[in-house]
Amino acid sequence: MSRVGNQPIETGDGVSVDISEDNLVTVKGPKGELSVRVAPEITVAKENGSIVVRRPDDQKRHKAMHGLYRSLIDNAVEGVTKGYRKQLEVIGVGYRASVNNGVLELALGFSHPIYFVPPGTVSVTVEAQRGKNTVVTIEGTDKQIVGQVAAKIRALRPPEPYKGKGVRYVGEYVRRKAGKTAAR
């Protein structure tokens, strides 16, 4: 029995849900519009102001898709109401980040600057204060795209274990190693 798939999805005020014949669920809200294509075996219905996802039988594949599509629709509803946000810290001497005309410019210790153009549905902002690490904030309505953009930026210079320099998520723990000891 699926514990996730059986829970109804509550839609708040200002959210409209349209379910088409070919199982395309379109969610519209104050922050935008998202669509989720659901497998033909899974049925999606609106009941009492909430969305209910059902599966035809108890096959392992149907159980897996039941919870998956329920979560995807729930993420779409949350994305168009609240939105998603990831924050990254740029740590290191001379490491900088700035946004110019929607393009993220990063100086990460390479011989050249790195220019990152985020997709149109994602906005990137930078907060740089003296004495504190630079924080890059990625915001958008689609949870998958926000996470993917954050992972791509982090992959440009992941944190290294000796000094901790690099790009990391805010609050991420980086296990530190001891450096070489001097020979006698």
Q: Which residues, at least 6 apart from 74, have a Cβ–Cβ distance to it below 8 Å?
A: 9
How do the pLDDT tens digits run along the chain, 184 residues long? Answer: 457 888 999 988 889 999 998 889 999 999 999 999 999 999 999 988 899 999 999 899 998 899 999 999 999 999 999 999 999 999 999 899 999 999 999 999 999 999 999 998 899 999 988 888 999 999 999 999 999 999 999 999 999 999 989 999 999 999 999 888 866 6
What is the predicted pLDDT for the residue at 113? 95
Look-up of token digits 């690490």: 133
Measured between alpha carbons, how far is 152 from 102 in angstroms, rounded to an integer? 16
Q: What is the helix, strand, coil percentage profile of the chain, to 5?
A: 20, 35, 45
Task: Name all domains of the chain by residue range, CATH numbers in brackets.
Answer: 9-81 (3.90.930.12), 84-169 (3.90.930.12)
Token pair, residue 123, equals: 């906005």
Measured between alpha carbons, how far is 90 from 72 in angstroms, rounded to an integer? 31
